[in-house]
Amino acid sequence: MNGSAAIAGDPTGKPVIEVSGLTKRFGDKTVVDHFDMSVPKGAIYGFLGPNGSGKTTTIRMMCGLLTPDSGAGTCLGYNILTQSHLIKEHVGYMTQKFSLYEDLSIRQNLDFIARMYRVPRRTERVENALEELGLADRASQLAGQLSGGWKQRLALAACLLHDPQLLLLDEPTAGVDPKARRDFWDEIRRLSDRGVTVLVSTHYMDEAIQCDFIAYIAYGRKLIDGEAAGIPGQVGLVTWRVEGPKLAALAEELTGQPGVEQVARFGAALHVSGTDAAALAATVSKLKKTGKRTWKQQPAGLEEVFIHLMAGSQDNFAGRSPT
Amino acid sequence: MSASYSSGRFSAVLFKEFIQMRRDRMTFAMMIALPIIQLILFGFAINNDPKNLQTYIEMNDTGPVSRSFLAAMQNSKYFDFQGIVANTEQIDAVLKDGRAAFVISIPEGFERAVLRGDRPSLLVIADATDPAASGNAVAALNQLVSSSLQGMTDTVLQSLAARPPPFSVIVHNRYNPAGVTSYNIVPGLLAIILSMTMVMITAMAIVRESERGTMEALLSTPARPIEVMLGKILPYVVIGYVQTLVFLGMALLLFEVPFNGSWQSFLIGVNVFIVVNLALGFLFSTVARSQMQAMQMSFFYILPSILLSGFMFPFSGMPIWAQYIGSAIPTTHFIRIVRKVMLKGGEIAEIVPDLMALLVIMVIITGLAMLRYRQTLD
Ligand SMILES: Nc1ncnc2c1ncn2[C@@H]1O[C@H](COP(=O)(O)OP(=O)(O)O)[C@@H](O)[C@H]1O
Ligand SMILES: [Mg+2]
């Protein structure tokens, strides 16, 4: 629903982020490899990939914090190579690691950021932000004393002070409890409805399915991207849904069979998926005979796709794995 | 407009630095305590005008003149006679193992030579490892030559006393022939204290931002490098002033170092020197990856500025290559400025060469720092 709403909101607009061929090397290690991405205005764009796959590095290049070794692009219409100071004026970047001053109070942090962006009517804005955060009565507490969830909310508030047109959120909900995560996503939706474009990196699946668009990166290379609804079709994943008794035993039996790439439990059912439809069908017909279970082929959902993508790539710190 | 300098952003950084400085009590205390501790350690070790220095005598002759001179020495309170030494070996021994600060050697036939008007010499061998300690005593010796003869009844000697001194004192400094004086060291300490704290504190304050990850947020704002640099440096200029005040108070009141020159030249020198050091700290911070590294680099810099600046050893006594290195160190020039101003009554005109050198170094360092300062995380 949101995907279509966002696109309908600005069908002709130029992409907010448009980069191509972005490459970044640290030493002899290529961390981001010819990365292309196009983020439409007003969209919530999910940026997925395992740890160390290059998400943070890519985001940093897009807002001018890192210089790409090659590639080019624009962000909010400004050249990412030459106009980063203009990009910075209009982008709110929430870093993966908390990057406000732990030895400054909550209010001092907000005030500092507001001054750096030369926010008009600064004091008022800061007080409003404190009210909205629900931190008004703790404003003189040191930021370092806040819990993870509060730090994340403070960081979001700080990067919203200057009314950015684009939000870059780098794993904003890592290590935050589920309730706080839900609240956080409600806030993202509200901002998106107001026309703010949001690029958010995450490795939570339940967050990925809330996005309008998705790009998946592993070992610095983009594996897939597009509208969220179209992703399963692109991956070409076939899923069989099994219901009946003794599913745990069945799951064990299925693992390692030809065509079976992934077995996942969804409530009272098992979802058995694979990209080789024929091999999977053969295995299924063989197993249908054992036990009284109902088998049904259905289109793969985003959930299965992400489990599939994530299973395909472990943490990427060690370097490219043989394929 | 967005690309232009903003004094609002500069003052935001400045303001933030002050808050952080106040929070970081430990560092703050260190910045104030360091000059005090250093001055007390260095200053007192060298400047307390020690009396009763252990003295041995090699008596190769005796008579009224030498007796009178030795009595005068004893009365001066600087010398405390420990005993007699018989030969060169014994002299070497008492000096080497530190039993004697001085050995007075009265040569054979000394008395007769004095009476004949040959104006012979008394040899004083001084342990000059701590030249400041023995300096005053040595200075007193020549005074003692004439005063020792004052009370003598012998008319011949009285008439001798009226004319140029009937004998002279030759001082042999052992172990440190250059003989740096205490007044030289205390003013030099200002240079050392300032470069130690200014360089290290700025370097660490900036690296801290990278280390804690706050640099990423700072860089993602539209702040310009010059705003960040000025905002980060200025609070420490204030610290530099405080240190200078503490230093002056102690140097003038406690150590009674004279201040003979002009305040203007002192102030100009101090300001330029503080800025040079802060720029150097900033430059270090663009190289160091952690606060630890920043600290190590600062110490690495401090060492040559203590050893090669003329603070510890006389500059002209160093080998040429060391003098070249020394000339590139800001501390060298500032030490000269402070010594000239405080001790030799230097005016602006006299400090111009060293001031120029400081300015050149400042321009180079600032240029390098600005070149190296990255607005990115690369
Ligand atoms: N400044 C850097 N120097 C060297 N290697 C880096 C640097 N930043 C990131 N890397 C490496 O690049 C890879 C990608 O990192 P990153 O972009 O942080 O991934 P992600 O955000 O997807 O977890 C990792 O292997 C990481 O170790
Ligand atoms: Mg990351």
Does residue A54 line the site of ligand 1, with CB under 6 A? yes
* B270 and B208 in a common domain: yes
Let me know whether B138 and B244 are in one domain: no
Residue A319 has pLDDT above 80, yes or no: no
Say which residue, A275 or A62, is predicted with more confidence: A62
Query: B96 lies in a domain?
Result: yes
Number of domains chain A is built from = 2
Residue A119 has φ and ψ, to the nearest 5°, of -70, 130
Q: What is the mean pLDDT of residues A92-110?
A: 95
At B151 the pLDDT is: 61
Secondary structure of residue A70 in the 3-state scheme: strand
pLDDT at B50 > cutoff 80: no
Residues B202 and B338 in one domain: yes
A55 lies in which domain range? Answer: 15-231
Provide the CATH number for the domain around residue A280.
Answer: 3.30.70
In which order are the strands placed within the sheet that holds A269-274?
Answer: A262-266, A269-274, A238-243, A294-299
- Closest CA relative to residue B188, chosen from B1, B376, B339: B339
pTM, 2 dp: 0.73
Residues A227 and A248 in one domain: no
ipTM for the predicted complex: 0.81
How much is the average pLDDT of A53-63? Answer: 94
Structure tokens at A250: 């069945």
Whether residue B169 is found in the same domain as residue B185: no
Q: Give the number of domains in chain B.
A: 2
SS3 A221: strand
**Does residue B265 sit in the same domain as residue B304?**
yes
Whether residue B28 is contained in a domain is answered as: no
Best B221, B289, B375, B377 residue to mutate vs chain A (most A CBs within 10 Å): B221
Q: Which residue has the higher pLDDT, A106 or B154?
A: A106
Query: Which listed ligand is nearest to A215 at the C-alpha?
Result: 1
Same domain? A175 vs A262: no
Ligand nearest to the CA of A53: 1
User: Under a CB-based contact definition with an 8 Å cutoff, are residues A62 and A17 in contact?
Assistant: yes
**How far is Cα A226 from Cα A216, in angstroms, rounded to an integer?**
9
Same domain, A213 and A257: no
Among the candidates B147, B174, B201, a domain finishes at B174
In angstroms, the CA A317 to CA B298 distance is 34
Could you identify the atom of ligand 1 that is nearest to the CA of residue A58?
A: 17
B169 Cβ contact partners less than 8 Å away, ≥ 6 residues apart: B121, B122, B123, B124, B141, B142, B145
pLDDT in tens, A109-140: 999 999 999 999 999 999 999 998 888 999 99
Across all residues in chain A, what is the average pLDDT? 87
Residue A196 sits in a domain whose CATH number is 3.40.50.300
Which residue segment(s) compose the domain that B63 sits in? 53-174
Nearest to B222 among A60, A102, A117 (CB): A117
pLDDT tens digits along B282-295: 899 988 888 888 88
- For residue B290, give Cα distances in angstroms to A241, B198, B205, B209, B230: 54, 17, 11, 10, 21
The answer on B253 and B216 residing in a single domain is yes
Q: Is the pLDDT score of B267 beyond 90?
A: yes
Residue B164 sits in the same domain as residue B227: no
Q: Are residues A106 and A132 both part of a single domain?
A: yes
Q: How is A134-158 classified by DSSP, letter by letter?
A: T-GGGTTSBGGGS-HHHHHHHHHHH
Q: Which tokens is B162 given?
A: 């009226």
pLDDT digits (tens, 9 = 90+) for B318-373: 678 888 888 999 999 999 898 888 877 778 888 899 999 999 999 999 899 888 87
- Choosing from B174, B196, B227, the residue where a domain stops is B174
Claim to verify: residue A61 and residue A209 sit in the same structural domain: yes
Residues A52 and A143 in one domain: yes
Contact A213, A3 (CB under 8 A): yes
